[in-house]
Structure 1
Amino acid sequence: MVSTPGRPARAAAAAGRRQVALGAYVTFEGRPWQVAAVAGASVRLVDTAGQTASVLSSFLSSFLFSDPTFAVVGCPVPPAMPWGLLESVPAREREQALDWQRHIREIETGLPAGGAGTGVPRPEYDPQRTSMAEREQTKADELARLGWPNVSRATVRRMRARYHAGDVMGLIRQRKPSSATGRADERVVAAVLEALRRQRGRSTGTLKGLREVTGQILAEAHGPGTVALLAPSTFNRLVRVLADPLEHPGRPARTATAVPVRPFTPVVALRPGELVQVDTTRLDIMAVGEDGKPVRPELTIALDVATRSVVAAVLREESTQAVDAALLLAEMAVPHPVRPGWGDHLRLAHAAVPCARLLALDARLEQAAARPVVVPETIVIDRGRVFLSAAFLAACESLGVSVQPAPPSSPTAKGAVERTFGSINTLFAQHAAGYTGSHILQRGQEVESEARFSVAQLQELLDEWITVCWQHRPHDGLRHPLLPKKALSPGEMWGVLLGASGYVPLPLTGAHYTELLPVRFHPITGRGIRINYRTYDHTALNEHRGRPSPTGPGGKWEVHLNPHDVRQIYLRLPDGHLHEIPWIHRDHVHAPMSETTWRHLRTTLEQRAEREAHEAALAEAADQILRHTRPTAPPPATPGTRAPNAVSPAAGGEPAAPHRTATQGATEAQDSLDALDARSQPARDESASADESGALPLPGSGALTLYDADQEAELW
């Protein structure tokens, strides 16, 4: 600004502003100048060489001040006001600082707006009549009358000094620096550090999961409810202060996802089973496979959109097959039985549903768990080959289910089930041993060594977690028209919608399950039915051996096989029904065996005997692997046999010999067959001892026409 003799003196004395007054030294166009005269509409400048320059005062702001080299000697340029930083200050403190600014300006210039303001100052604040000390004392008395606490002349002088040093930001109350943990309880800090120590080296979970672990540590150390856990937001800030950024780095940037081709529209379903979304993904847990190696099981779930209930969930060690998707339909349509060891509070009788009325419709619900039973009307699937397979589509058609494929590159079409996968990983998987984390940067160093649950054990834990936690956890997407502010749980929403839609039981039996199994066609030979080097035989095949099927293609017979349990097959005979045909060595395998395990055995176990002996060795090796990796209850002992892993009385209560290896099993099986062959005196028909290629066995090979499991068990 330019100070002219006609302007009030208070305008020229405004603090912190650049003054172009008469006699002032300035820098303009890179040279020093002195203001020699201010006359009318022009300002005359004189440099050290005596040269003069005249600048019109009306163009000062646009010409003189716009020069980057312009400066007033002895009056530094004030810094720019950090308005963005001022916005980050709490509103109450910001308003108080702006009030102090107006009071300080009135003390120094006589006007609350400062030197740029117009009007007449109040007499007690007129700089021409009063001194600075008088104005400071008058302002202190005025603020005290207005109710400002602890305001004295010294306070006014201190605030003036802070204002000149830091402008408005200098008037903000400066808090004393506190410790890193603030006012947090030391016991809580110690519990958080212990939770972080337990997390070291393992896969990184969520802050919510870490908070639950901290609560458990506090309960163990000080008793339940003794020390209150911090609120989630306060706990998260404390963890960010205590956690090592190298061990707990931030999440990486998300990768680009497919953009929906159309606007997002929420999916609405008004009754249970109206819309069911099905999908498959890998679970974030390492499990112990049937061969003893760590694997990541694949999870397939069916989510009812109306109630957000997980009506079916299947874990598989290998990739999900069409039979899994087909059996998923039957699992969601029948009641889930209460497993042994579950409490009575998990029964359907304790759920928020009219249990008495439901029992009158379906007696199976008496022993059912508190999970919805849904007969789907429409199933939304992606375009995976499993869900587009003929077996799955045929199963949907047989149950009267409509199949609706999701549009390609549209993840929002199945948003509910996609979000449920994330909830299962954060609420269930991260608390289990062998958690891998959601991405590679969160994976622990010893994940594979932490895996201690088999896939079957994880299936049991997942089913119990769904019944206990998921079905009783409030869901933000479930609202009742009469209670719009209350989030209902999936179980409560199922009970609410049952009154509007009702319940119609679907009477599925074991025959329905076998009909949903994958179909293949094989001939019936004199030995039975051969599938992947396994022999299936039964007396029901006697009248059909070597004969063509009257209905099958190429004269072959219709066979249904469960790839997750190959111990038996189901054959459709001319009477139209499926008959169970067992594997000839089924009595040796006391747990379900999949095709994957069978292929692993065939590749690792060498063939050291004839086909029947080799097959028996494979069965023995399969039993040992399944017993070692997935323990089950020992089978009841039969006369003349001893249960595996039994305690020998002669050994004084010491455990029996450890498990045999696959090679030892093959050798002992061959020795048993040789002994049995040596004791059998009647001559055998050589044609019955020939294998499928027609070659006769060598003398002394111990080949039998039909392997008898009971006789071999008596020898063992």
Structure 2
Amino acid sequence: MSAPAGRPVAAARNRQVKLGAYVTFEGRTWQVAAVAGASVRLVDERGQTASVLAPFLFADPTFAVVDSPAAGVPPWGLLESVPARERERALAWQRHIREIETGLPGGPASGGIPRPEYDPKQQSMAAREQAKADELAQLGWPRVSRATVRRMRARYHAGGLMGLIPQRKPSSATGRADERVVAAVLEALRRQHGRSKGTLKGLRQLTGQILTDTHGPEAVALPAPSTFNRLVRVLADPLEHPGRPARTATTTPARPFTPTVALRPGELVQVDTTRLDVMAVGEDGHPVRPELTIALDVATRSVVAAVLREESTQAVDAALLLAEMAVPQPARPGWPGHLRLAHAAVPYARLLALDARLEQAAARPVVVPETIVIDRGRVFVSAAFLAACETLGVSVQPAPPRSPAAKGAVERTFGSINTLFAQHVAGYTGSHVLVRGQAVEDEARFTVAQLQELLDEWVTAVWQHRPHDGLRHPVLPKKALAPNEMWGALLGASGYVPLPLTGADYLELLPVRFHPITGRGIRINYRTYDHAVLNEHRGRPSPTGPDSKWEVHLNPHDVRQIYIRLPDGHLHEIPWIHRDHVHAPMGETAWRHIRATLNHRAGREQHEADLAEAADQVLRHARPLPGRDAPATAAAPSAAVAAAAGPQAADDDAEAQDSLDAVEAHARDDDGRPAADDELSPLAGRFALYDAFEEAEHW
């Protein structure tokens, strides 16, 4: 008596219940005493007997033949996961083994007449195995002998069809990777845990730094990028795996893509705005995510201008972008010499003869744009920006709506800035919310002005000297060129046209508004601007302005002064009456925060003085001192505002460390003499506040 059909041959043979065999039934051990039809007679160790129907005996959960493994249903699902070639080879072996044992490839019930060399009645098992080995060798099967056939028969009887699948030895998850590299990858993943996820390339750089710090420079070599990516895929938590973007479905059909071609510098410049993936310390001390506006020259892939703003980009920023790309960008104090234009791959001597301002310029292209491609944002279609483009002779070309491919070069550059620059800056937010860290706001370390300095230096030192796969010289088509190299190669195609802008040109590009001149001066948003130059015009109507109001130009990023056009046609600077009390540039963002925090509890003059005091305290506390590990928190500006409003403002200000005094103290040694240049470099060089008005005077 045997188990039901449908199991492998070995399984059926092991499940046979013969006379004298010991079986377990209902948790007890029995010996088969007799088999009569469908009934099985069992005898236990105590001599008790039982007669059980065979189907009932086999259905018992505890039934098993003692000293004979019970075979279950073969894992047919695993067979589907086997490569098709190995699965077909296993099925072929099954047919050959069946023919060896029964004479028929399909088994005993398949019918037919066995071939003479495989007839069990005429040939022994050894002869049949040898005949099968000779047949497979003639068919082209490699390395098939009688021993191979015998081994495959044993594997088939032990494991059925799955036993014929080649069993590979399980390998380590990390393979043959160096244990030191594995430890460094695990340490890099630990440091990134809970933070915003970057790219695999950024993680590889971090791993290299860990190996250098642990074992010394060049002691342990990093594996190739493809090997490193496989190692990270094995070691990283799937939820923490870097470089895995979120994918969203879209129902918009793809439009035909036509690449944008530009053959000379300035022929086509693409301008766009996006949020930088870095949290910064705002003017009011709160963490903010600044907005980045860049201008990209398509012919050379050069970032010819980049502007960071705390809030939404305004018309003045777009106009400033035009000025920055059209005039030489001065090298910042503290920058190394190789970042100057004199060391770039351009005909520097010939350019210097055209424009003396290039002598102190940074190694970035100076491009006078012919055509600017913009999106339909309100900033770039504003009257101020279009008027600025018309003044500079620039053609404006709006991109088609919902067509990101129209500005594909600048869109791709934003991704490069995020992966090559932003992910290495403290406060990195990640490219989307699914990879964002848990406390990104607490990681903010730099103000927007400091981030602007870092970005300018990165563009000059890294981006402009980094080979771009899309830049190829006609003479050297196999060599990828850097943007500066491409600019030098194409410079002869268009030449350099100097654009001598002055500080007055910059003032003309500022946003315009109209206000009356009263006996107290000009009142704008709770701020009073006054100067002796207004004396003869107080209370008088403007001869040219609408509603008899005077034309006023205001920089929203520094409200400490305005510029008014008087009858002589020139713009005159009018300072805020409390400008000398506020020692740093202040924008409308910080001013609105101060006004919302400080209640109006006195007359207009006293209230404005309180606002000025609060503004000075906020600007001092919002800028972290050199060497501090944590940025200014939101509570510090609020406390400064409250202190400025109350009678204890002087005492509170004395208790709080004045940031400007601290900077001055930091810049001097114990004897009161100025510190060395290397000690001042973080203050006077790399992180110095960028003053657009001062820079405009150098244009």
TM-score normalised per structure 2? 0.72
The answer to whether the Cα contact below 8 Å between 2:90 and 2:161 also exists between their aligned partners in 1 is no
CA gap 1:80/1:596 in 2 versus in 1, 3 angstroms: closer
Cα distance, 1:187 vs. partner? 0.6
The answer to whether the Cα contact below 8 Å between 2:74 and 2:160 also exists between their aligned partners in 1 is no
Structure 2 residue aligned with 1:596 = 589
**Matched residue of 2:230: which SS?**
helix
CA gap 1:343/1:301 in 2 versus in 1, 3 angstroms: same
Task: Report matched runs for 1:500-539 at 5 Å.
Answer: 500-539=493-532
Task: Report matched runs for 1:475-514 at 5 Å.
Answer: 475-514=468-507
Structure 1 residue aligned with 2:418 = 425
Q: Distance in 2 between matches of 1:603 and 1:492?
A: 51
The one-letter code of the counterpart of 2:313 is T
Structure 2 residue aligned with 1:371 = 364
Cα distance, 1:193 vs. partner? 1.1
Q: Distance in 2 between matches of 1:482 and 1:82?
A: 56
CA gap 1:241/1:602 in 2 versus in 1, 3 angstroms: same
Q: Distance in 2 between matches of 1:465 and 1:458?
A: 10
1:142-188 Cα offsets, whole Å, 9 max, x none, are 99999999875423432465578899986664321012222111111
**Matched residue of 1:661: which SS?**
helix
Q: Distance in 1 between matches of 2:244 and 2:183?
A: 25
Structure 2 residue aligned with 1:158 = 151
CA gap 1:255/1:144 in 2 versus in 1, 3 angstroms: closer
The answer to whether the Cα contact below 8 Å between 1:101 and 1:163 also exists between their aligned partners in 2 is no
Task: Report matched runs for 1:581-620 at 5 Å.
Answer: 581-620=574-613
Query: Would you say 1:274 and 2:253 are equivalent positions?
Result: no
**Matched residue of 1:485: which SS?**
coil
The answer to whether the Cα contact below 8 Å between 1:276 and 1:376 also exists between their aligned partners in 2 is yes
Structure 1 residue aligned with 2:257 = 264
CA gap 1:249/1:229 in 2 versus in 1, 3 angstroms: closer
Larger displacement relative to structure 2 (372-381 or 144-153): 144-153
Give the total of aligned pairs: 562
Query: Would you say 1:202 and 2:195 are equivalent positions?
Result: yes
Cα distance, 1:200 vs. partner? 1.4
Structure 1 residue aligned with 2:640 = 661
CA gap 1:123/1:356 in 2 versus in 1, 3 angstroms: farther
The answer to whether the Cα contact below 8 Å between 1:523 and 1:546 also exists between their aligned partners in 2 is yes
1:407-437 Cα offsets, whole Å, 9 max, x none, are 1121211111112212212221111111112
1:642-675 Cα offsets, whole Å, 9 max, x none, are xxxxxxxxxxxxxxxx999334445679999xxx
The answer to whether the Cα contact below 8 Å between 2:198 and 2:242 also exists between their aligned partners in 1 is no
CA gap 1:473/1:138 in 2 versus in 1, 3 angstroms: farther
1:311-342 Cα offsets, whole Å, 9 max, x none, are 11111111111111111111111112111221
The answer to whether the Cα contact below 8 Å between 1:261 and 1:410 also exists between their aligned partners in 2 is no
The one-letter code of the counterpart of 2:268 is L
The one-letter code of the counterpart of 1:579 is H
Output the aligned Cα RMSD: 4.0
Task: Report matched runs for 1:546-625 at 5 Å.
Answer: 546-625=539-618
Structure 1 unaligned runs (5+)?
1-14, 17-75, 116-121, 634-657, 673-716
The answer to whether the Cα contact below 8 Å between 1:106 and 1:125 also exists between their aligned partners in 2 is no
Cα distance, 1:441 vs. partner? 2.1
**Matched residue of 2:556: which SS?**
coil
Task: Report matched runs for 1:134-153 at 5 Å.
Answer: 153=146
Q: What fraction of aligned residue pairs are identical, expressed as a percent?
A: 80
CA gap 1:212/1:515 in 2 versus in 1, 3 angstroms: same
1:261-319 Cα offsets, whole Å, 9 max, x none, are 74111111111111111111111111111111111111111111111111111111111
Cα distance, 1:213 vs. partner? 0.8
The answer to whether the Cα contact below 8 Å between 1:98 and 1:168 also exists between their aligned partners in 2 is no
**Matched residue of 2:272: which SS?**
strand
Structure 1 residue aligned with 2:374 = 381
Q: Distance in 1 between matches of 2:516 and 2:548?
A: 7
CA gap 1:529/1:240 in 2 versus in 1, 3 angstroms: same
TM-score normalised per structure 1? 0.70
The one-letter code of the counterpart of 1:305 is V
CA gap 1:279/1:166 in 2 versus in 1, 3 angstroms: farther
Structure 1 residue aligned with 2:209 = 216
Cα distance, 1:202 vs. partner? 1.1
1:350-381 Cα offsets, whole Å, 9 max, x none, are 22222222212222112111111111111111
The one-letter code of the counterpart of 1:431 is H
Cα distance, 1:603 vs. partner? 2.2
Q: Distance in 2 between matches of 1:98 and 1:77?
A: 18
Q: Distance in 2 between matches of 1:328 and 1:566?
A: 20
Cα distance, 1:605 vs. partner? 2.1
**Matched residue of 2:270: which SS?**
strand
**Matched residue of 2:544: which SS?**
coil
Larger radius of gyration between Structure 1 and Structure 2: 1
The answer to whether the Cα contact below 8 Å between 2:198 and 2:423 also exists between their aligned partners in 1 is yes
Structure 2 residue aligned with 1:11 = none
The one-letter code of the counterpart of 1:346 is L
**Matched residue of 1:393: which SS?**
helix
The answer to whether the Cα contact below 8 Å between 1:303 and 1:311 also exists between their aligned partners in 2 is yes
Cα distance, 1:494 vs. partner? 1.5
The answer to whether the Cα contact below 8 Å between 1:107 and 1:135 also exists between their aligned partners in 2 is no
Q: Distance in 1 between matches of 2:143 and 2:581?
A: 91
Q: Distance in 2 between matches of 1:168 and 1:349?
A: 75
Higher relative contact order (CA 8 A, sep 6+): 2
Q: Distance in 2 between matches of 1:380 and 1:371?
A: 21
Query: Would you say 1:401 and 2:394 are equivalent positions?
Result: yes
The answer to whether the Cα contact below 8 Å between 1:472 and 1:491 also exists between their aligned partners in 2 is yes
Q: Distance in 2 between matches of 1:235 and 1:226?
A: 17
Q: Distance in 2 between matches of 1:393 and 1:192?
A: 51
The one-letter code of the counterpart of 1:222 is H
Structure 2 unaligned runs (5+)?
1-7, 10-72, 107-114, 627-636, 652-699
Q: Distance in 2 between matches of 1:250 and 1:469?
A: 22
Larger displacement relative to structure 2 (537-546 or 357-366): 537-546
The answer to whether the Cα contact below 8 Å between 1:434 and 1:447 also exists between their aligned partners in 2 is yes
CA gap 1:106/1:162 in 2 versus in 1, 3 angstroms: closer
CA gap 1:246/1:408 in 2 versus in 1, 3 angstroms: closer
Q: Distance in 2 between matches of 1:560 and 1:168?
A: 86
**Matched residue of 1:357: which SS?**
helix
Q: Distance in 2 between matches of 1:601 and 1:187?
A: 53
2:230 to 214, 219, 237: 237
1:346 to 339, 343, 349: 339
The answer to whether the Cα contact below 8 Å between 1:299 and 1:314 also exists between their aligned partners in 2 is yes
Query: Would you say 1:451 and 2:434 are equivalent positions?
Result: no
Q: Distance in 1 between matches of 2:153 and 2:470?
A: 56
The answer to whether the Cα contact below 8 Å between 1:108 and 1:132 also exists between their aligned partners in 2 is no
Task: Report matched runs for 1:158-197 at 5 Å.
Answer: 158-159=151-152, 173-197=166-190
Structure 2 residue aligned with 1:255 = 248
CA gap 1:322/1:226 in 2 versus in 1, 3 angstroms: same
Structure 1 residue aligned with 2:456 = 463
The one-letter code of the counterpart of 1:198 is R
Cα distance, 1:555 vs. partner? 2.0
